Chains A and B, each alone.
Chain A
């Protein structure tokens, strides 16, 4: 199963995994973990950086494309998204 993890940076430089988004059967994304983050991802979506305008948003229903774009949206260091992982 394909999935992406979110790493929160702590004061000592360590990172904690606070949420994980999975690509479920049917091509829809489901997330578990930090509820504020998940609520925001669900309601507000994320930017699609492959779109020139930068105005297109992706949501859970966009499946793999949503997962692929997470690491471009979460890259500050404070909260990073992983590449797509598989288990």
Chain B
């Protein structure tokens, strides 16, 4: 024991480690640290939004949102997306108090403008949005308690969905309260599964893996806890695990467990 330890109070406390996601994409570093070679202010919308070109590595949409919580929830939705294997949300990072930067998806269209008409105009053969993708999106929205999904805030590219605009997910004001929209999402999941649609195998496997990975649950909770209220995070993880329990290995739903979930909400 050295003299400093004997007299106490001088031993440096070990610094708390900042949790790091094992799913961190290299793109996040680019978004976080890259220099902008172009920054153009976009017209319209309620947020101050810029299109940015990142020096030598793609583009992004930079949003200055009304409050810090909105930016944090955008990042939180991205983290959940990665941990659970949905791969819907383009890499998303915080850029300051109220700014959030998300990778720009080139050649994507909002679901609002995607349709048969474009097929005629461009000569590109396009299929309707696959039902399993829509079901997967409902599942994602239900999990993140997103109260703001419509055709203006998801994109389609090569028959794949990209989910954007998650300012109103994990909403503190509505979380835990009976939100009609969240109930609606669960009803839609139940309805689609009832019609024979199944939650895709990759997402079932990914959710089940998360369920049996307590360290991952703790890590996600720690990462989310840096962004949103810890009590909300605790409740989120609890409800997520209950929902995963209600999903069968075949991508169907366990009726009694789902009824229990509906009763709780």
A8 located at the interface, meaning its Cβ lies under 8 Å from any Cβ of chain B in the complex: yes
> Are A8 and B147 interface neighbours, CB within 8 A?
no
Known contacts: A9-B51, A13-B59, A53-B180. The answer to whether A79 contacts B110 by CB under 8 A is yes
Q: Interface code A48-87, partner B: CB below 8 Å = 1, 0 otherwise? A: 0000011100000000000000011111111111110000
A13 and B59 alpha carbons, distance in the complex (Å): 9
Chain B residues with CB under 8 Å of A36's CB are 112-118
A55 nearest CB neighbor, chain B only: B180
B52, chain A: closest CB distance, angstroms? 8
Q: Interface code B36-54, partner A: CB below 8 Å = 1, 0 otherwise? A: 0010101111110101110
> Are A11 and B181 interface neighbours, CB within 8 A?
no
Cross-chain contact of A77 among B51, B109, B117 (Cβ < 8 A) = B51
> Are A78 and B114 interface neighbours, CB within 8 A?
no
A78, chain B: closest CB distance, angstroms? 5
Chain A residues with CB under 8 Å of B107's CB are 11
B263 located at the interface, meaning its Cβ lies under 8 Å from any Cβ of chain A in the complex: no
> Are A81 and B113 interface neighbours, CB within 8 A?
no
Interface size on B, residues (CB 8 A): 41
> Are B63 and A77 interface neighbours, CB within 8 A?
yes
A56 and B89 alpha carbons, distance in the complex (Å): 27
> Are B44 and A37 interface neighbours, CB within 8 A?
no
B153, chain A: closest CB distance, angstroms? 5
A40 and B61 alpha carbons, distance in the complex (Å): 24
Interface size on A, residues (CB 8 A): 36
A37 and B40 alpha carbons, distance in the complex (Å): 25
Chain B residues with CB under 8 Å of A9's CB are 42, 51, 61, 104
A41 and B59 alpha carbons, distance in the complex (Å): 29
A13 and B165 alpha carbons, distance in the complex (Å): 18
B106, chain A: closest CB distance, angstroms? 5
A76 and B60 alpha carbons, distance in the complex (Å): 12
A32 located at the interface, meaning its Cβ lies under 8 Å from any Cβ of chain B in the complex: no
Chain A residues with CB under 8 Å of B104's CB are 9
Cross-chain contact of B181 among A18, A39, A55 (Cβ < 8 A) = A55
Among residues 68 to 124 in chain B, which have CB atoms less than 8 Å away from a CB atom of chain A? 104, 106-110, 112-118
Chain A residues with CB under 8 Å of B118's CB are 36
A44 and B111 alpha carbons, distance in the complex (Å): 12
Among residues 10 to 41 in chain A, which have CB atoms less than 8 Å away from a CB atom of chain B? 11, 13-15, 18, 34-37, 39-41
B201 located at the interface, meaning its Cβ lies under 8 Å from any Cβ of chain A in the complex: no
A53 and B181 alpha carbons, distance in the complex (Å): 8
B60 nearest CB neighbor, chain A only: A77
Chain B residues with CB under 8 Å of A80's CB are 42-45, 49
Among residues 173 to 197 in chain B, which have CB atoms less than 8 Å away from a CB atom of chain A? 179-181, 184
Cross-chain contact of B152 among A5, A7, A74, A82 (Cβ < 8 A) = A74
> Are A75 and B46 interface neighbours, CB within 8 A?
yes
Known contacts: A55-B180, A78-B110. The answer to whether A13 contacts B38 by CB under 8 A is yes
Known contacts: A11-B106, A35-B117. The answer to whether A77 contacts B45 by CB under 8 A is yes
Query: What are the 10 tightest A-B residue pairs by CB atom distance, in nearest-first order?
Result: A80-B44, A75-B45, A36-B115, A13-B51, A80-B45, A77-B61, A13-B40, A77-B49, A79-B110, A82-B44
